[in-house]
Structure 1
Amino acid sequence: MPKKGGKKDRRLLKPDWQENHVYLVQFPRIKMIPSASPYCLKLETWLRIADVPYTNISNEFKHWSPKGQVPFIELNGRTFSDSNDIIDHLKKELKNPDQRLSSQDDAYSNAIHALIENSLKWVYMYARHKNNKWFFGPDGFGPHTKGLKGALVKIFGKMRFAKEIKNAVMANGIGNQTPAEVVQFAKDQLKAVSVILGDKDYFFGDIPTTIDATAFAHLAQLVYTPQIDPDIKKYMETCTSNLVQFVERVKTRYWPDWNNATQHLYFNSNWKEQR
């Protein structure tokens, strides 16, 4: 029987669903990084960390959650949206990689989450506000926008993304900053995250938890997608190298299919078979 929560008043993309199997609806792959959306990358990485069985479904630039969001999931005949809400639900219903954390650890994790998802992310959002041409270029969604239908997606999708990003960065306030100010802001935020991680493999020791999926997804955007100034990546490599090593560590352990996902836009979720 479908579990409580989520939305059931919509046509499912996967009507013949399997019980307790997650159907992850997200944007198509791109060549720079498995997903240009940190929320899609976070959720898929979390599913791998938690070892939850899932199947990818492309939203094909036309499928959105009832709240107008991507990613979203279908689970047991219901739809759940917002990556953070989805993870919270899955932790209760399926698996919880944070189960070993103390109350103090949970509080600390929430603070790190706020630093990364409510602060650091605006660095690359600012960059995308200033230059989002690559979004639908050959290394972005370009390979998915061929033919007449693809051309329309490219035109209107680009307009939609540009508008949403502009509205977001201007509402946040960072849109009014100069590139030099954003670079300094980036360095300050990266330094803070670097100090918190220290010499640990993951934020809470040797075993990854939810915050590691969050950190990886956002830091990977800084490492693998265009930024406002190359000095940001240089700073990461020289002054916060532990963050670069962290990204590589998570990538190696949970994304053995990284090259297939990016070079060949591989969308299969049987990632363990490629170890």
Structure 2
Amino acid sequence: MDINNLSENLSNIILDSANKTFNFRPFKGKRKKKKGKQKWFNGNCKFFKRELNNLGSRLQQHPNNHDLKTSYHQLRREYKKLLKDTKKKFITDIIDKLDSLHEDNPKLFWKTINNLKKNTNREENPIPLSEMSNYLKKLYEENNTDLDISKIEIENINNKHLDYAFICKEVRDGIKKLKKNKQPGIDLIYNEFLLYGKDLLLLPIVNLFNRILSSGKFPDAWNLSLQERNMAMESDEVLFLAKASGTVLISSVVLYVAWKKIRCKSPKKDHPRDTVILHQFDRGPYAPSMTPYAIKVETYLRMAKIPYKNEHGFTPSKKGKWPWIEYNGEEIADSEFCIEYLNDKLGIDLDKDFTVKERGIARAFQKMLEENTYWAFVLDRWVYDENWTSCKVMKIPSLTGYFIRRQMKKMAFAHGMGRHNPNEVYHIMELDFKALSNFLGNKKFLLGDKPCQADCSVFGLLSNAYWQSFGTPVESTIKRYENLCYYCQRMKETFWPDWDECITHGNTKEATK
């Protein structure tokens, strides 16, 4: 069978099965469904609800009527029991439909599955992930020009112990993990299908995926660009997820399982004592990091003259955040907690020469930038930039970039900054820069001739805005304030004399530090 047909069957497993099992109509928006709008809420439930409401209204008018109160509570108990039984029956019916799914699906689809069932009795052959990564890169170099899979670098993420392929149990656990915290609405039926139908389809999906990996060819469908507008529309999400040839379901599950294995099985390295191990992403093109918080922590370590060593990679902290540090076997996550921990542990106080009032002012400006300006910066970099400049500069694959953009958009909306339009967001950012510029004046550092701890945070964000905004409105905004630009240069010269060794110069060469 042609590899592209095999890849198409991989997506049709989900799409055809969902269409044959459920009749659903997506609705726009992400509103929460009321109980009366849920699929299992039938006419009998509506009748009981109406009677209960009528009885409740009468009870409000006659609250001292004992017989009326007894009748109301009895009917309320019956109504709750009815809801529980009706919902249970609805789920049972779904499972029954899945049991009879074989008879309703296209012959070609089930022919593919039946052919694969012949090999299900044997154990799945292990595929070392280092070989898988090199294999995918080789396929990419031979057959593709658009998809940059070289940044995946699976074999370089401390995974030498991952010498077996993904098996059904791991994929099942991955599906369970991925379906948590889903929004009700357009993907509700899709999630129900994953919940109740995964056991039926799991083995064919895994076998198909492993078969494609071992086929020697790279499916065209795996080279889909998720940057196109029509594919990113929320109203078509269910159809798009299924059509992406396992790009979303399979790739997400595989990456989740790989991430989990990497986190659990990677052997801990032996580091020298009394040395801070700073875990952060790879070096940035024009500043030491693409995240302000990594520059913040590393600048603090240099300012406090604490011995440290960088560990570049994608191993997350226990909180799932970057950067994070290790110190004599202890792990500390979140940049602010890292600094606070080292201050207490090593007796460091970078603000000892400043008054309580000055410390309070510095803290206020730090939090303004980290909790307000930062989110305007995030929206500018990951949401408003239609050219996906950050993804191109960082060589992030289009699939990864799509999910980063989507996640950042959700987080900014939850914060509140994402609820404004771009003009309002840039206006808020300019007011923040203006306030900082007015306070900084002609001073060398935030509070005067000596740097304070808050300078680390200020420099972390301003350095990204000044050197790594890639021609967006953020760059033009900060360059309107000359003293902020001079401040960035001054911090760079004072604490980063090896700056050129800590950047990739637009990805033209590797950073040596």
TM-score (norm 2): 0.45
Structure 1 counterpart of 2:362: 109
Check 1:80–1:168 CA distance in 2 against 1; reply closer, same or farther (3 A cut): same
Check 1:89–1:11 CA distance in 2 against 1; reply closer, same or farther (3 A cut): farther
Structure 1 counterpart of 2:324: 72
Structure 2 counterpart of 1:4: none
TM-score (norm 1): 0.80
Give the conservation status (yes or no) of the 8 Å contact 2:412–2:418. yes
Structure 2 counterpart of 1:217: 460
Check 1:213–1:160 CA distance in 2 against 1; reply closer, same or farther (3 A cut): same
Give the conservation status (yes or no) of the 8 Å contact 1:12–1:77. no
1:233 to 469, 472, 475: 475
Which one-letter code corresponds to 1:16 in the other structure? D
The superposition leaves residues 75-118 of structure 1 with CA deviations (integer Å, 9 ceiling, x where unpaired) of: 01111000000001111112332232332222222111111111
Structure 2 counterpart of 1:187: 430
Distance 2:479 2:285 in 1: 22
Distance 2:452 2:437 in 1: 17
In the alignment, is residue 200 of structure 1 matched against residue 443 of structure 2? yes
The range that moved more, 35-44 or 125-134, is: 125-134
Distance 2:423 2:453 in 1: 32
Distance 1:195 1:17 in 2: 44
1:257 deviates by 2.0
Structure 2 counterpart of 1:167: 410
Give the conservation status (yes or no) of the 8 Å contact 1:14–1:23. no
Structure with larger RCO (C-alpha < 8 A, sep 6+):
1
Structure 2 counterpart of 1:271: none
Which one-letter code corresponds to 1:72 in the other structure? W
List gaps (5 residues or longer) in structure 2. Answer: 1-263
Which one-letter code corresponds to 2:494 in the other structure? R
In the alignment, is residue 133 of structure 1 matched against residue 388 of structure 2? yes
Give the conservation status (yes or no) of the 8 Å contact 1:30–1:36. yes
Which one-letter code corresponds to 1:97 in the other structure? L
Which one-letter code corresponds to 1:253 in the other structure? T
Structure 1 counterpart of 2:511: 266
Give the conservation status (yes or no) of the 8 Å contact 1:179–1:228. no
Which one-letter code corresponds to 1:57 in the other structure? E
1:16 deviates by 1.9
Distance 2:470 2:420 in 1: 15
SS in 2 for 1:19: coil
In the alignment, is residue 176 of structure 1 matched against residue 419 of structure 2? yes
Give the conservation status (yes or no) of the 8 Å contact 2:389–2:470. no
Check 1:255–1:14 CA distance in 2 against 1; reply closer, same or farther (3 A cut): farther
Which structure: greater helix fraction? Answer: 2
Give the conservation status (yes or no) of the 8 Å contact 1:183–1:229. no
Give the conservation status (yes or no) of the 8 Å contact 1:15–1:77. no
Distance 2:373 2:512 in 1: 28
Give the conservation status (yes or no) of the 8 Å contact 2:295–2:460. yes
Distance 2:285 2:482 in 1: 24
Kindly tell me the number of residue pairs found equivalent between the two proteins.
244
Give the conservation status (yes or no) of the 8 Å contact 2:391–2:398. no
Give the conservation status (yes or no) of the 8 Å contact 1:29–1:267. no
Structure 1 counterpart of 2:61: none
SS in 1 for 2:336: helix
Check 1:227–1:188 CA distance in 2 against 1; reply closer, same or farther (3 A cut): farther
SS in 2 for 1:29: coil
Give the conservation status (yes or no) of the 8 Å contact 2:292–2:461. yes
In the alignment, is residue 85 of structure 1 matched against residue 343 of structure 2? no
Check 1:172–1:227 CA distance in 2 against 1; reply closer, same or farther (3 A cut): farther
Distance 1:12 1:55 in 2: 19
The superposition leaves residues 51-94 of structure 1 with CA deviations (integer Å, 9 ceiling, x where unpaired) of: 111000012x3x10000001011101111000000001111112
Give the conservation status (yes or no) of the 8 Å contact 2:384–2:422. no
1:267 deviates by 4.9
In the alignment, is residue 251 of structure 1 matched against residue 492 of structure 2? yes
CA RMSD, 1 decimal? 2.4
Check 1:215–1:13 CA distance in 2 against 1; reply closer, same or farther (3 A cut): farther
Distance 2:401 2:288 in 1: 19
Which one-letter code corresponds to 1:233 in the other structure? E
The superposition leaves residues 176-210 of structure 1 with CA deviations (integer Å, 9 ceiling, x where unpaired) of: 32222222222111110111212110112122121
Which 4+ stretches in 1 moved above 6 angstroms? 10-13
1:46 to 300, 303, 312: 300
Distance 1:66 1:267 in 2: 28
Distance 1:21 1:89 in 2: 14
Structure whose alpha-carbon radius of gyration is higher: 2
SS in 2 for 1:28: coil
**Identity over the aligned pairs, expressed in percent?**
28
Give the conservation status (yes or no) of the 8 Å contact 1:12–1:74. no
The superposition leaves residues 205-243 of structure 1 with CA deviations (integer Å, 9 ceiling, x where unpaired) of: 12212111100111112112237843x4334333x2111
List gaps (5 residues or longer) in structure 1. Answer: 1-9, 146-153, 269-275
Check 1:26–1:229 CA distance in 2 against 1; reply closer, same or farther (3 A cut): closer
Give the conservation status (yes or no) of the 8 Å contact 1:45–1:254. yes
Check 1:236–1:159 CA distance in 2 against 1; reply closer, same or farther (3 A cut): closer
Which one-letter code corresponds to 2:318 in the other structure? P
SS in 1 for 2:442: coil
Distance 1:85 1:206 in 2: 26
